[in-house]
Each structure stands twice: as structure tokens, then as C-alpha cells.
Amino acid sequence: MALLSKLATNEQHGENSPYFDGWKAYDNDPFHLVNNPNGVIQMGLAENQLSFDLIEEWIKRNPKASICTTEGMESFRTIANFQDYHGLPEFRSAIAKFMEKTRGSRVKFDPERVVMAGGATGANETLMFCLADPGDAFLVPSPYYPGFNRDLRWRTGVQLLPISCKSSNSFKITIEALKEAYENAQQANVKVKGLILTNPSNPLGTTLDRDTLKNLLTFTNEHNIHLVCDEIYATTVFDAPQFVSIAEIITNDEVTNRCINKDLVHIVYSLSKDMGFPGFRVGIVYSFNDDVVNCARKMSSFGLVSTQTQHIIAAMLSDDEFVEEFLIESAKRLRKRHEKFTGGLEEVGIKCLKSNAGLFCWMDLRPLLKEPTHDGEVTLWKLIINDVKLNVSPGSSFNCPETGWFRVCFANIDDQTVDIALVRIRMFVDGNNDVKENGVAKEKQHWKRSNLRLSFSNGKYDENVMSLNMMSPNSPIPHSPLVRARN
Amino acid sequence: MKFLSKKATCNSHGQDSSYFLGWEEYEKNPYDEIRNPKGIIQMGLAENQLSFDLLESWLAQNPDAAGFKRNGESIFRELALFQDYRGLPAFKDALVQFMAEIRGNKVSFDSNKLVLTAGATSANETLMFCLTDPGDAFLLPTPYYPGFDRDLKWRTGAEIVPIQCTSSNGFRITESALEEAYQEAKKRNLKVKGVLVTNPSNPLGTTLSKQELELLLTFIAKKQIHLISDEIYSGTVFNSPKFVSVMEVLIENNYMHTDVWDRVHIVYSLSKDLGLPGFRVGAIYSNDEMVVSAATKMSSFGLISSQTQYLLSAMLSDKKFMKKYVSENQKRLKKRHEMLVRGLKKIGISCLDSNAGLFCWVDMRHLLSSNTFDAEMELWKKIVYEVALNISPGSSCHCTEPGWFRACFANMSENTLNIAIQRLKDFVYSSARDSDIQNHQHSNNTSPKKKSFSKWVFRLSFNERQRER
């Protein structure tokens, strides 16, 4: 008998996709500089671990910010007791101010519009609940963050319609592609409620330029559909061009001159990437639509930010001097790391998409594919995991319309580990080149040598297959990336 | 054009109910001992503010937990990065042990069957997402917590069908009421997926008897449906009978190796027992692996902040402290409860006999101008605006009988509680006087309802005269 709901028993959460096998490999054999130098290096996790020292320093200097220290104790009971879904006023102000600073103070944010959510994961789902009914669709440029399949669709019943972006123009979103996707939906009788963008992009690491943003907004405005901008990586911009938030595009002038309906524009934000605080679950819905603010706020009851966290974040982000210092230093370190990594890759002939933001690179491994097919990509990926011992993320898991692209994260490991990763990549590429020269099919050789314990049925990628052999009886429970709310 | 979803534009969040309107009035004119002594006293908020001092003193003695440290070493980075939806193992272990402790260690819990959520609000909604498809129904005994209308129905599309409980038997759940509710759902073409009870009950403050629990298990076994036991108030039991968890009854009645075992799920939270609603600590406990698995994935939408998990894992693992805390907390709740019950009794108002919770279920039926919900609203408005007390009318809890109100006693100082009781006393006496005068003036025109009212009033005046003597 159907005792559980369809939601509980379908695979729409997407966690049984082969994508997560890389994680299993990592979990079975995690790299450690001293204890396991030959283990798998985790490069599939988009975390920002570069600037914790700055934050730890701040915490040491500001014991009052924690409600549990001697200095901060007097606030304990008020904070512990506070469950108002509006959130602590000082928290909302601090977030609004921080959002302004990270956008170069070019635009103002209203604390009254700051609504909490359980991480950006919760924020995205909440917006879908507010803007779309089951069966409605949202357009999303691909490649896109795999978590969207769960966050935007699973419990909401909303469909995702990808807009294909091509490497021929650096994966930029074109109005033509957008129009096409929209029209296809119309023909299939699917109601499109909006467009969701991640800007800066995951997995591309690029930012949208002002003109593109304007054009996208013109399109959504004309068609009376929503525009959701997930700006979770806003502060990870380390290079020109400067980040342009959608908030800058809908200034008063713009709105009047171009008849923009602000009620259709919404921003998702979070401290998980900018500050490196995914554990604290600070997600924000910022909407220019009063009704959405009200609705999202009521829904925030299902994922409020712990007041203990609100309190410390409020104190930290209100410290103007600290914030300014942090933003500059963090960007510096990201840039340095990005340069080091992409530089190292270039030396061995691997190109990355030119990017100016994010915690990852979008690597072009098409030259290494045996065949420019999905199978070819999966084969290469398994090699990288098992032979090169790097957990990277294949483009197919991001719904990339082209094969051969891989996302590799660089901000969650230290410098030494980056060096080791680069050495391994060099060895792999050199090895490949040797093999090529000897005219032997490289994949077959590697395949035989490798200790494959992956469980693909016919090596075919089927997102909806509930394959119970994903977890072999001897393997420990994997740290699926969706175990981490967002990666 | 319809821009927003149906969910955004409908009323299923239930926030236009009177329960929340009282809050709004309070927000406009909140009582403060010094700054606003005439303001509205908040008695609609089931918070436990009685034992913060105990927690604060623990914190003072345990600086490591407080300062992101473990053995003096900073673990800030580790915590900041920890977003594993399976939760901090140390925290889950400590939490299940604490839950067992509250149940007199008559049951033990396996931390692998525990799912952490952002508050019981999220736990309840998540369970609905796991157990019901849109349009399915859950049966709930009335009166029930007003928030359920939002938590269980709003985004899930589930329905609630009430199990009518009445004062005739102390609002206990009966077999016939269960069956009636089930049939009612059938009539409305709703597929019943389970029963949800709050034990101890909000708003009644009573614990379910063993008989009621056995009845529920028999019922769900027969109908092959689920039982959710929201035990959020389990640590607030201050009087006998002792708290009996549904887990205990499951084991005692040999349900362990039946399919019923997999269909009983518990919801818990630290918002009431420990008075920490701001920290958003909730949990689902289930013997069904699929429910645990699905709920764990869904918890991504509302995880508990890692710094909070860490702090509480340290606190809850201090078993000696927690034992002391629970017993002292219960003592204080008992005292407060007595204060309110006695104070109300003196002015002729009785409460349902209760042994748990942070509130009393107050019987004000005799103060109604008529036995209707309109009269209840009328009385409620008077109490909010004239008496300046925000209490919750029974209708907001879906009570079938007008005249019952929930009044909270653990979210204010003793002083404030006394003032609240005094205000109510003044109101009751002045109403009696007014009614006396009215009756005298209209002595030829006594409708039966007014008659019963004046009879009561006469009794009160008589008592008062006695006391003066």
C-alpha cells in the first residue's frame, strides 16, 4: 500500500544520480597531506576556506558577539527566546548593509525587505512556492547548479526548462536562446512563470554584464514573468568586470523610463560562499514585491536562522572596518588562488573558461575526450577520479549541453594541496600524450588498471534510475554533496 | 495577470485567525512593568521563560562550548563549514539521550533514526510532505495548536479533519470520535493518511492516558495509517500522571515487530522544554527508514545552525546538569500553574485539570452572553481591549464548544502574572456589577440566557459579601 507520499518515494531529489559516485570515491579514500597523501583530493566542493583566519581574529576580539561568553551573556535569554520571523532588526540591517557594500555601495537595500530562509537552498525553494504552482515552469540557463533540481522542483512541483548556452560564445546567455526556450514552452502548453539566473554563475564563474542583464530584464518584463537572481557568489568576484547586481538595473530611473515592473524581480542571497559559513544556514530572500516579501516571510517559519547566529552575524557585519578589510582581502586571496590554479592548468595545455568570480574553474577537457559524447565524458571523469584521484564535477551533472567540460573547485584546499593536484594533472596529461603517441587507445588501458568500484549500469547515465547498487554493502554511507546543503 | 502562486495568495497560512490578531494588538501596546504598566499583558505566548538562569549559569561554567572551542582549541572553521544534513553526531547522540531521560529512560532512541529540522514547525511540515500527497488528510483531536493549519496544510496541500473532543469527558479522545472523524473524511472524499496528536496537549495541558494511546494504536493498526506524536511539551510535565510516550506503549503492547512500528513518528523540539525557540531546534524520530531518508534530504531546506548544534551538544551531554534542569524547571512550572489556577478559582473561573504545558485551558463559558462563538469573540475582544490581556480564544484552536480560552503563565514574571489575575478579577466583578444593574433595570425582561448569567453573578456577589465579613 502507498503508505508514504510520492515525494518521499520518487527520485526527484536527484540524489541517486551517478554524479555522487565521485563523492563516494573521495569518502572511501580522502586525501590528507600527512596521513593519506595518495588519497582523492576533493575538488568538487564549492566552499570558501581561504579567509577564516580573518573571521576567527574578529571573533576573538569581539566576545560580546557571542551570547554565550561572559561578555555576551546578558543577551542570552532575549536572543534565545526571540522567534519572531521578522528576524532581529539588527540582523536585517546588517545584512542589508553588507549587501550594499558587496555591490560597491552603488545601490541601497531596505532591511524591511530582507527575509530569512534556510540557506540559499531554502530561499530558492521558498521563492518557487511563492511564484509558481505545481506544473508551472522556470527557465534556467544551463549549465546550472545540480542542486536546483531538488531545490526548485522537488516539493514545489515546478518544472525547470534549460536554456542552452554554448562554448562558442563563452556560454553567454543570448536573447535568441531565451526566446527559443520560452516559445518551445508555449508550444508545449507549459506555463512559464519566470527565469532564474545565478549571477555570478555556478559553474562558470562568470558575471553577467550590464547590457545582458538589461536585455534579460526587458524580456521578462515584456512577457510578464518573474526574474530571480541568485547572487550567492556576489562577493567572490575577484577580477574585472565589476559585479553588477540586478538591483542596480532597477533603479528608479530605469523603472520609470522603461516601465519595468519591480514586482517581478527577486534576489536570493546567502553567506555560505562569500563568508564561508555554509554551516550557519544564513539564506536571504530579497524581493521588490511586497506580497512576495510577506508570503516569503510567513514561509520563513520553516527555516528561520538561529538567533544565536543572527546575533553574531549582526555584530560582525555591522563592523564596517572589518567588513571592508575582509572584502578586499578575501577577493585578493581568491584571485591569487585562481591565478595559481588556472596558470598551472595552462602550463599543461588545459584551458579554463575566462572567469572573474566563484570558487571554481570551468575546465575545458574536450581535447581529452575519446569521443565527444556523454559516455566519453563519463569515461574521462571516472579516469580522473580513479587514476588522477581528483574529485571534479562533470559538466553533465550541471546539465551542460556540451560534453567535455568539468568544474573544479580551488578555494576549499590549501596551497600545498593545489600544488599536488596540479602535479597529478600534469602527470595525467603527459601520460595521455605518451599513450596517444604510441597509438594505443588510452581509455582501455586506464580502465583495466584502475580499481573501479563504481556501479554504473552499462555506463549509462540515467538520472531517474533508482539503483540500489549505488551503495555497495561494504561502502560507508557517502557524504553526498547534497548532504551538504549546497556545493 | 496572476503573478503569484496560489499558495501566496490564499489564506491557508492561517495568519488572519484571531490567534494572531491578538498578537498584533499586543505588539501595538505591549505591557512593561515600568514603561507601560497599562499595556496588554501577553498571555497568548506559550514560552518558557522560567529557567534561563540555570542555562546561563551552565554557560558561565562551560566557556569552551560557548566560545567555539573544543579543549581550548578553536573549532570555528569546522563548525562554519559543517552543513551535513545528517547533523552533528555528538548533538544527535546527546539529544536522543535527553529524550530518553525525559521519558524516565523507559524507552531508548537510536540517533540514526533522528532527523534534525529547524524547529518543530519544520518537522511537522516535513512529515506531512513525507506522508501525504496533496489532498490527503490527517485527523487531529480538537482543540489543537492554531499553527498546525499553516504547518500541516499550507504548502503541502494536506487537509486536517478534526476529531471532536468535548468537555463532557475532559476533552479525551474516544473511539467514537475517532471513527466519526474517519467517516467524515471519507464523506469529503479525502484519503486519511494518519492521526496527529500533541502529547502533552496544546492547548489543554494534559497528557494522554495509556488508554488513549492504546486506543490510538489500535485505530491506526486497523486503518493502516500513520500516527504522529508531537511531544514538544514532553519535558514540561510537572504533575502526575507521569508522561507516557507513545514509544513506551508501542513496546509494551508488542507492536515492535508489526508494521505499526514503522508508522509511528515522533516530533520533538527544544523550544518549550528548554525555552530556546530562537535557536530553531526540532527533530523527527521515525522507525521507518524511508521516512528518515526522505526527511533527512528535506531537512536541507531548514537545517539547524551548526554553532547551535555544537553549543547544545555540549549542554545536553552534561547529563547531571540536564537532570537538575528538568526537575527544577518542572518545579517552577508547577508553582506558576498553581498560581494561575488558584487565582482564577478565587474569581469563579475554573481550568481544565492539567499536569503539563505552559498554559491553562480556562473555562469562561459562564461569562459568555450566549453559548455561541460570536459571544466568545465578543468576550475575547473585551479581554484584549478592556482587560488588556492577550489570551487565545478556543475557536482559534478549533474547539467545538465556545467559551474556552488558553492562558499562558510561563512567559512573564510572577508579578506580572499577579497583575494579570487582578485585572481579570476587576473585569469579572465589574461585569457582575453591570449585569446586576442591568438586571435590576430590566427585571421584567429576563431572557433565559441572561437569567443564567445573573444567577452566577448573584452567587459571586454573595461570595464577595461573605469575604468582606
Instruction: Tell me whether A305 touches chain B (CB under 8 Å).
Output: yes
Put simply, the answer to whether B290 touches A9 (Cβ < 8 Å) is yes
**What are the pLDDT digits (tens) for B117-129?**
999 999 999 999 9
Q: Are A86 and A297 in contact (CB under 8 A)?
A: yes
B218 pLDDT more than 90: yes
A450 pLDDT more than 50: no
| A455, burial (CB in 10 Å: exposed 0-12, middle 13-18, buried 19+) | middle
Residue in B150, B155, B300 nearest the CB of A482: B300
Residue window 316-335, chain A: list those with CB within 8 Å of chain B: none
Angle at CA A319, nearest 5°, toward A314 and A322?
A: 125
Catalytically annotated residue among B19, B144, B145, B325: B145
> What mean pLDDT is reported for chain A?
87
Residue window 448-487, chain A: list those with CB within 8 Å of chain B: 479, 482-486
Chain B residue numbers with beta carbons less than 8 Å from the beta carbon of A303 are: 118, 122, 301-302
B454 pLDDT more than 50: no
Instruction: Tell me whether B226 touches chain A (CB under 8 Å).
Output: yes
CA B417 vs. chain centroid, Å, equals 20
Region A41-62: mean pLDDT is: 92
Instruction: Tell me whether B189 touches chain A (CB under 8 Å).
Output: no
Q: What is the pLDDT of residue A465?
A: 27
Put simply, the answer to whether B52 touches A8 (Cβ < 8 Å) is no
Residue window 20-49, chain A: list those with CB within 8 Å of chain B: 47, 49
Chain A residue numbers with beta carbons less than 8 Å from the beta carbon of B9 are: 291
Q: Which cell numbers hold the place of B240?
A: 502526575
Residue in A302, A484, A486 nearest the CB of B302: A302
User: Alpha-carbon torsion B369, B371, B375, B379, what sign?
Assistant: positive
Q: What is the pLDDT of residue A264?
A: 96
Stated as kind and residue range, the H or E segment containing B291 is helix B289-298
- pLDDT higher at A16 or A147: A147
What 8-state DSSP symbol labels residue A359?
Answer: S
Catalytically annotated residue among B26, B92, B272, B363: B272
Q: What is the pLDDT of residue B8?
A: 84
Chain A residue numbers with beta carbons less than 8 Å from the beta carbon of B150 are: 298, 301
CA B93 vs. chain centroid, Å, equals 25
B451 pLDDT more than 60: no
Residue of B nearest to A261 (CA): B3
Residue of A nearest to B311 (CA): A68
Residue window 212-241, chain A: list those with CB within 8 Å of chain B: 224, 226
Residue of B nearest to A86 (CA): B278
Q: What is the pLDDT of residue A480?
A: 38
Mutate to test the interface with B, among A306, A409, A468 (most CBs of B within 10 A): A306
Put simply, the answer to whether B291 touches A292 (Cβ < 8 Å) is no
**What are the pLDDT digits (tens) for A196-208?**
999 999 999 999 9
Residue of A nearest to B67 (CA): A69
A484 pLDDT more than 60: no
- pLDDT higher at B297 or A439: B297
Instruction: Tell me whether B82 touches chain A (CB under 8 Å).
Output: yes
Distance between CA A262 and CA A376 in Å, rounded?
45
In percent, the amount of chain A with pLDDT more than 90 equals 77
Q: Which cell numbers hold the place of A140?
A: 534556467
Residue window 4-63, chain B: list those with CB within 8 Å of chain A: 4-9, 13, 15, 47, 49, 52, 55-56, 59-60, 63
pLDDT interval class at B11 (50, 70, 90)? low
- Give the active site residues of A: 145, 230, 232, 273
Put simply, the answer to whether B129 touches A308 (Cβ < 8 Å) is no
pLDDT interval class at A455 (50, 70, 90)? very low
Q: Which cell numbers hold the place of B370?
A: 450566549
Distance between CA A262 and CA A290 in Å, rounded?
10
Residue in A15, A56, A150 nearest the CB of B76: A56
Region B454-465: mean pLDDT is: 36
Put simply, the answer to whether A302 touches B122 (Cβ < 8 Å) is yes
Residue B424: phi and psi, rounded to 5, are: -65, -40
Put simply, the answer to whether A122 touches B297 (Cβ < 8 Å) is no
Q: What is the pLDDT of residue A144?
A: 96
Chain A residue numbers with beta carbons less than 8 Å from the beta carbon of B307 are: 279-280, 306, 308-309, 312
Alpha-carbon distances, residue A419 vs A46, A389, A410, A426 (angstroms): 18, 14, 11, 11
B145 is catalytic: yes
Distance between CA A5 and CA A10 in Å, rounded?
9
Q: What is the pLDDT of residue B19?
A: 62
At B117, is the secondary structure helix, strand, or coil?
A: strand
Alpha-carbon distances, residue B150 vs A113, A181, B122, B205, B393 (angstroms): 22, 36, 11, 21, 18
B467 pLDDT more than 90: no
Distance from the B105 Cα atom to the nearest Cα atom in chain A, whole angstroms = 28
B392 pLDDT more than 90: yes
Region A157-179: mean pLDDT is: 96
Q: What is the pLDDT of residue B12?
A: 61
Catalytically annotated residue among B40, B160, B232, B347: B232
pLDDT interval class at A476 (50, 70, 90)? very low
Residue A127: phi and psi, rounded to 5, are: -60, -40
Q: Are B133 and B139 in contact (CB under 8 A)?
A: no
Q: What is the pLDDT of residue A338?
A: 97
Distance between CA A248 and CA A243 in Å, rounded?
10
Region A357-363: mean pLDDT is: 97
Residues near A394 by Cβ (< 8 Å), separated by ≥ 6? A19, A377, A378, A380, A381, A405, A406
Put simply, the answer to whether B279 touches A125 (Cβ < 8 Å) is no
- pLDDT higher at B5 or A266: A266
> What mean pLDDT is reported for chain B?
90
Q: How many CB pairs under 8 A join A and B?
A: 238
Instruction: Tell me whether A302 touches chain B (CB under 8 Å).
Output: yes
Instruction: Tell me whether A52 touches chain B (CB under 8 Å).
Output: yes
Q: Are A74 and A311 in contact (CB under 8 A)?
A: no
Beta bridge partners of A268: A230, A285
A69 pLDDT more than 50: yes
Distance from the B120 Cα atom to the nearest Cα atom in chain A, whole angstroms = 9
| Residue type (1 letter), B2 | K
Q: What is the pLDDT of residue B71?
A: 78
Nearest to A303 by CA among A112, A97, A127: A127
Catalytically annotated residue among B136, B149, B230, B363: B230
A487 pLDDT more than 80: no
Q: What is the pLDDT of residue A273?
A: 95
Chain A residue numbers with beta carbons less than 8 Å from the beta carbon of B82 are: 278-279
B301 Ramachandran zone, left/alpha/beta (phi>0; psi -120 to 50): alpha
Put simply, the answer to whether A299 touches B155 (Cβ < 8 Å) is yes
Residue of B nearest to A60 (CA): B67
Region B48-70: mean pLDDT is: 87
B115 Ramachandran zone, left/alpha/beta (phi>0; psi -120 to 50): beta
pLDDT interval class at A435 (50, 70, 90)? low
**What are the pLDDT digits (tens) for B151-180?**
999 999 999 999 999 999 999 999 999 999
In percent, the amount of chain B with pLDDT more than 70 equals 90
Distance from the A353 Cα atom to the nearest Cα atom in chain B, whole angstroms = 27
Residues near B464 by Cβ (< 8 Å), separated by ≥ 6? B429
| B78, burial (CB in 10 Å: exposed 0-12, middle 13-18, buried 19+) | middle
Instruction: Tell me whether A129 touches chain B (CB under 8 Å).
Output: yes
Q: Are B362 and B406 in contact (CB under 8 A)?
A: yes
Residue window 350-409, chain A: list those with CB within 8 Å of chain B: none
| A1, burial (CB in 10 Å: exposed 0-12, middle 13-18, buried 19+) | exposed
**What are the pLDDT digits (tens) for B226-258?**
999 999 999 999 999 999 999 999 999 999 999
Put simply, the answer to whether A83 touches B278 (Cβ < 8 Å) is yes
Residue A274: phi and psi, rounded to 5, are: -60, -50
Region A447-475: mean pLDDT is: 31
In percent, the amount of chain B with pLDDT more than 90 equals 80
Residue in B288, B298, B307 nearest the CB of A308: B307
Residue in B55, B76, B294 nearest the CB of A8: B294
